[in-house]
């Protein structure tokens, strides 16, 4: 499976700089408020040291009271500044996260369909959920915390140096071990968290495909196999998370052990300096309080550094989606005519063997062509080439003389619609689900489209088009969901329709009624039907038989039956099974 790319560190840094640049005013306000709060927070330890010195010198109670009131005032001002700084920081974070989500959705919607399918749903689902959430937390909470903690630590250690340079040097006693273990951790954390993210994507892919194919798993008695496969993926996630946990265990243990060293060293050095009258007792007390006060921002800085690594890895995965070249805009806005022509088309997935081998085919405007053949013959692949989702490795697929992939994507989708047996019900009302195909159609046109495809269940909905459907609301069965997808097709009104087993989820009688209803609507349109029920082929103008990636027979139903070839064998076999039922 071809995973989506992951951005490198340089790309992530550049994206972060761009984000800060776009919000530089908000960032400036946040930094200014937190800096003011940090500066105000420096006053209480210094004032407390002053009280010690004044009391030692025999100061009055009134002097102590004034200094105590000053401490209380500074604490209050610092708290207010911190409150507004946090408010401004969260506003900035929420705006940045909203912008990030919009950009990610835009990038995702711009991905070529073929890329999304090859990447798999698990990778994209993990990036759009877990990674977006992780980056949101990082932008909203982690980055401001790290910046603020850095400013506070700079001011606190600077204050200790101002009290006495030797006290400042003593305050750095725990720094070498913290710097060393942080460098050790950062060299290993990024790759470890990227591995954890990839393992989580694999697990999501496994759980998703198993849940979606639960009936098939039960029918084929593959339960033990899927449990074993899922257990393997869980083990991979467990190992990846154990690796990151091992890093955190070493990192936090060394950091926590380093915290008491500066305070102890300052007290020892301060006691020596005080005994030599080189520094006052109040200065030593203030220095110790500054270092004690520095533990909280240091702790926050180092703890959030771990989360920052998660955020950095998740941001790299989100930016990786934008590294996929978007769907080409096309070199031609339109083409002349609607005749589909395939000449010498060969196609292979990635670097694998050819799936299609020199396909030659012409479909006239308004013609109905059925494509039949055994599973794995290349029918769906041919449908993707005709719809312009994939381009042939050799040869050409054109409409009106213009290569399909050269058409502007919006124009191509307006003229050619591919409907598969896969369908999706969006969370929302029936109206919301239908309006995706044609935003400007009326309610009456929507109702008519549903009736056209035989969606008789629509009459039983309690709120008509306003009935909520999808997860958490009224659930549609497979047949109902497929009829909803076909109703979208009627509203989209393309000239060329490619139906890749579009009625596969319907029971035979419902499928037959739906196909007849569509037949009345699709008069004058080009219809290419990938057929698994041969009654579709019976009603078509021509039938193309595909086997091993090659068209082996083509002609009308009667001609092919009379020829006694592969199609005739398929027809007699299918007809016999239908009669037995």
Query: Which pLDDT tens digit goes with each residue over 19-49?
Result: 888 888 888 888 888 888 888 888 888 888 7
Shared-domain flag, residues 292 and 193: no
162-166, 503-507, 527-531: range with lowest mean pLDDT: 503-507
User: 399 with 339: CB under 8 angstroms?
Assistant: yes
Q: How confident is the model at residue 304 (pLDDT cuts 50, 70, 90)?
A: confident
- Written as six digits, the tokens of 327 are 């769907």
Structure-block tokens of residue 42: 């420096």
76 pLDDT band, cuts 50/70/90, is very high
> ∠ CA 251-255-258 to the nearest 5 degrees?
150
Is there a single domain that holds both residue 135 and residue 78? yes
**DSSP 8-state class, residue 545:** E
Instruction: Identify whether residues 248 and 285 lie together within a single domain.
Output: no
pLDDT of residue 183: 86
User: Angle at CA 502, nearest 5°, toward 497 and 508?
Assistant: 130
pLDDT over threshold 80, residue 261: yes
Of the candidate ranges 244-253, 284-293, 333-342, 545-554, the one whose mean pLDDT is the lowest: 333-342
Q: What is the pLDDT of residue 234?
A: 92
Average pLDDT over residues 521-541: 77
The CA distances from residue 478 to 115, 420, 482, 484, in Å, are 26, 13, 6, 10
The residues with which 397 forms a beta bridge, in sequence order, are: 342
Chain segment 416-433, per-residue pLDDT in tens: 888 776 677 888 888 988
CATH number at residue 353: 3.40.50.300
Look up residue 139 and give its two tokens.
């932008």
- Is residue 384 domain-shared with residue 408, that is, in the same domain? yes
Asked if residue 16 belongs to a domain, the reply is: yes
Q: Give the residue among 399, 401, 439, 441 at the shortest CA–CA distance from 417.
A: 399
pLDDT digits (tens, 9 = 90+) for 358-402: 889 998 888 889 898 887 888 888 888 888 888 888 999 888 888
More confident site: 264 or 109: 264
> Quick one: 312 and 347 in the same domain?
no
Contact by Cβ (8 Å): 483, 455: yes
Residue 271 lies in a domain: no
Same domain, 369 and 516: yes
Nearest residue to 567 (alpha-carbon basis) of 550, 541, 544: 544
DSSP 8-class letter at 2:
-
Would 268 be classed as within a structural domain? no
> 299 and 381: one domain?
no
- 417 φ, ψ (degrees, to nearest 5): -120, 130
Q: Looking at the structure, do residues 482 and 504 belong to the same domain, yes or no?
A: yes
CA separation, residue 366 to residues 494, 519, 527 (Å): 12, 12, 7
Confidence grade of residue 238 (pLDDT, cut at 50, 70, 90): very high
- Name the CA dihedral angle for 286, 287, 288, 289, rounded to a multiple of 10 degrees: 50
Which of 99, 179, 130, 121 has the alpha carbon at shortest distance from 311? Answer: 130
CATH code of the domain covering residue 129: 1.20.1560.10
Q: Which of 99, 112, 81, 74 is nearest to 23 (CA)?
A: 99
Range list of H helices, 493-533:
508-521
More confident residue, 522 or 441: 441
Domain assignment present for 330: no
Phi, psi of 209 (to 5 degrees): -65, -35
Tell me how far apart the alpha carbons of residues 41 and 443 are, in angstroms, rounded to a whole number: 64
Report which of residues 533 and 177 the model is more confident about: 177
Largest separation between any pair of C-alpha atoms in the chain: 121
Same-domain check for residues 315 and 347:
no
Report the pLDDT value the prediction gives residue 334, as an integer from 0 to 100: 64
Continuous segment of H or E residues that includes residue 101: helix 61-109
Q: Given 269, 296, 325, which residue is the final one in a domain?
A: 325
pLDDT at 239: 92
| Radius of gyration (C-alpha) of the chain in whole angstroms | 34
Q: What is the pTM of this model?
A: 0.60
Q: Would you say residue 501 lies in a domain?
A: yes
Please state whether beta strands 542-547 and 468-469 pair in parallel, antiparallel, or not at all (unpaired).
unpaired
Q: Is residue 354 domain-shared with residue 436, that is, in the same domain?
A: yes
Residues 226 and 255 in one domain: yes
Rounded mean pLDDT of 559-567? 87
Q: Assign 517 a pLDDT band (cuts: 50, 70, 90).
A: low
Q: What is the mean pLDDT of residues 439-456?
A: 85
Same domain for 186 and 232?
Answer: yes
| CA dist., res. 277 & res. 280, Å (int) | 7
Q: Domain residues for 196?
A: 173-260
Angle subtended at Cα 191 by Cα 185 and Cα 194, rounded to the nearest 5 degrees: 125
pLDDT band at 1 (very low <50, low <70, confident <90, very high): very low
Total structural domains in the chain?
A: 3
The pLDDT > 70 percentage for the chain reads 91
């Amino acid at each position: 499976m071809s995973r989506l790319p992951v951005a490198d560190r340089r790309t992530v840094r550049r994206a972060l700089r761009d984000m800060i640049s776009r919000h530089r005013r908000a960032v400036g306000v946040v930094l200014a408020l937190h800096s003011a709060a940090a500066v105000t927070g420096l006053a209480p330890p210094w004032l407390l040291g002053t009280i010690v010195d004044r009391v030692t010198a025999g100061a009055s109670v009134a002097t102590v009271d004034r200094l105590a009131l000053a401490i209380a005032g500074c604490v209050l001002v610092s708290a207010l500044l911190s409150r507004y700084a946090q408010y401004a920081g969260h506003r900035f974070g929420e705006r940045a996260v909203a912008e990030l989500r919009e950009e990610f959705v835009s990038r995702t919607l711009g991905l070529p369909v073929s890329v999304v399918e090859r990447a798999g749903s698990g990778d994209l689902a993990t990036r759009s959920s877990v990674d977006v959430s992780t980056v949101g937390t990082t932008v909203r909470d982690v980055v401001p915390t790290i910046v603020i903690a850095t400013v506070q630590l700079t001011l606190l250690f600077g204050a200790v140096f101002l009290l006495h340079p030797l006290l400042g040097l003593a305050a750095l006693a725990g720094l070498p071990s913290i710097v060393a273990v942080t460098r050790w951790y950062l060299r290993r954390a990024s790759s470890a968290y990227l591995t954890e993210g990839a393992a989580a994507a694999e697990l999501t892919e496994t759980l998703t495909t198993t849940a979606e194919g639960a009936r098939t798993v039960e029918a084929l008695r593959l339960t033990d196999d899927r449990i074993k496969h899922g257990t393997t993926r869980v083990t991979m996630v467990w190992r990846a998370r154990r690796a990151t946990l091992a890093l955190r265990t070493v990192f936090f243990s060394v950091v926590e052990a380093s915290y008491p060293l500066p305070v102890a060293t300052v007290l020892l050095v301060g006691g020596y300096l005080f005994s030599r009258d080189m520094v006052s007792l109040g200065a030593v007390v203030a220095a110790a309080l500054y270092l004690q006060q520095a533990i909280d921002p240091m702790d926050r800085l180092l703890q959030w550094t771990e989360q920052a690594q998660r955020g950095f890895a998740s941001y790299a995965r989100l930016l990786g989606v934008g590294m996929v070249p978007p769907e080409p805009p096309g070199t031609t806005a339109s083409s002349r005519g609607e005749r589909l022509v395939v000449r010498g088309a060969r196609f292979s997935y990635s670097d694998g063997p050819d799936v299609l081998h020199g396909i030659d085919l012409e479909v006239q405007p308004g013609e109905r062509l059925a494509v039949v053949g055994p599973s794995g013959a290349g029918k769906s692949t041919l449908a993707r080439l005709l719809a312009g989702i994939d381009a042939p490795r050799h040869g050409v697929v054109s409409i009106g003389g213009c290569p399909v992939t050269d058409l502007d994507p919006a124009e191509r989708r307006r003229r050619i619609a591919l409907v598969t047996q896969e369908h999706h019900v969006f969370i929302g009302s029936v109206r919301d689900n239908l309006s995706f195909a044609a935003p400007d159609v009326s309610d009456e046109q929507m109702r008519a489209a549903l009736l056209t495809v035989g969606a008789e269940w629509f009459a039983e909905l309690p709120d008509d088009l306003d009935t909520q459907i999808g997860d958490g609301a009224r659930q549609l069965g497979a047949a109902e969901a497929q009829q909803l997808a076909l109703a979208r097709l009627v509203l989209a009104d393309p000239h060329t329709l490619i139906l890749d087993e579009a009625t596969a989820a319907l029971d035979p009688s419902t499928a037959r009624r739906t196909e007849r209803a569509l037949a009345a609507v699709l008069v004058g349109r080009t219809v290419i039907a990938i057929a698994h029920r041969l009654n579709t082929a019976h009603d078509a103008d021509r039938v193309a038989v595909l086997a091993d990636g090659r068209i082996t027979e083509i002609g009308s139903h009667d001609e092919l039956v009379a020829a006694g070839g592969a199609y005739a064998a398929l027809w007699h076999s299918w007809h016999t099974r239908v009669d037995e039922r």
